[in-house]
Amino acid sequence: MPSTPRIPTLRGPRVILRPWRQSDRDVFAAMNDDPRVMEFMVKRLARAESDAMADRIETCFAERGFGLWAVEIPGLADFAGFAGLWPVRPEIPCAPAVEVGFRLAPIAWGKGYATEGARLALAHGFEEAELREIVSFTAAINVRSQRVMQKLGLVFSGTFEHPAVPEGNPLRPHVLYRISAEEWRRSIAPG
């Protein structure tokens, strides 16, 4: 039987991206049912849906060696949400692609933690997973997430109607951002 790849822990100055623990699931379920956290999602998740998402995250790591890491912020929260890399669903216009994504609890908002965690994930994606491009997308009205994408160096690439969001829903129009491995390397090069 092939062994499951070891999930790396990624460390930044203030944020740790680590493998998930069973104890994270309670906090994750509370986040996924919080209307503030899920403001730009079509719906909040019931506990079973949240657990199923956590299961899919673990499967992604097992199959690809990357996924959505648990975000730990020492001194603030053992589990503050997730940041990482996720395969884009086939029905999304930019597919096949890998997305950098993040979802944090309100306690961690507005302090740069999402940017730091996503930057660690991007570095892993380009340096370890050898991805050629990483995308990110969100509802056009989600300005906060777009600011994080811009801080990461991702470039606006267009708009699309998200096929999983009902027509007429204000969350259906989405914006797409992307960055290539070459652009990433130029952005981190000294000088």
CATH of 10-132, one of 3.40.630.30, 3.40.190.10, 3.40.50.180, 1.10.3720.10: 3.40.630.30
Q: Is the pLDDT of residue 189 over 80?
A: no
pLDDT for 166: 96
Domain boundaries, the chain: 10-132
- CB distance 184 to 153 below 8 Å: yes
Q: Is the pLDDT of residue 75 over 80?
A: yes
Q: Is the pLDDT of residue 1 over 80?
A: no
Q: What is the pLDDT of residues 89-144, one digit of tens each?
A: 999 999 999 999 999 999 999 999 999 999 999 999 999 999 999 999 999 999 99
Longest CA span, the chain: 49
User: Stretch 33-55: mean pLDDT, rounded?
Assistant: 97
CA distance readout (Å), 136 to 11, 29, 36, 141, 147: 22, 23, 21, 15, 12
Task: Provide the terminal-to-terminal Cα distance of the chain, rounded to the nearest Å.
Answer: 48
